């Protein structure tokens, strides 16, 4: 948000619309690209990203709290 002065949260379609209306390149394409076979199906991608984010934050908190 700081770089774009926009905040569409996790709404990829809104970000894509803003990107295309701003004549950015390459143009946003709403089609999800499958980069690897283990990637979640398009309808489950947002949930998978949310889960990954929660795990990442949780791991950070544990490593910050736990002295080594």
Chain-wide mean pLDDT for the chain? 79
Tell me, yes or no, if the pTM score tops 0.95: no
- What value does the mean pLDDT take over residues 20-44? 80
Please count the CA atoms within 13 angstroms of the CA of 31 that sit on its side-chain side.
5
pLDDT band at 65; cut points 50, 70, 90: low
Q: CB neighbours of 42 closer than 8 A, spacing ≥ 6? A: 32
């Amino acid at each position: 948000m700081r770089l774009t002065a926009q905040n569409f949260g996790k709404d990829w379609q809104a970000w894509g619309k803003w990107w295309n209306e701003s004549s950015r390149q390459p143009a946003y394409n709403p089609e999800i690209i499958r980069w690897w076979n283990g990637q979640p199906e398009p309808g489950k991608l947002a949930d998978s990203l949310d889960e990954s984010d929660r795990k990442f934050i949780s791991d950070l908190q544990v490593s910050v709290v736990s002295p080594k």
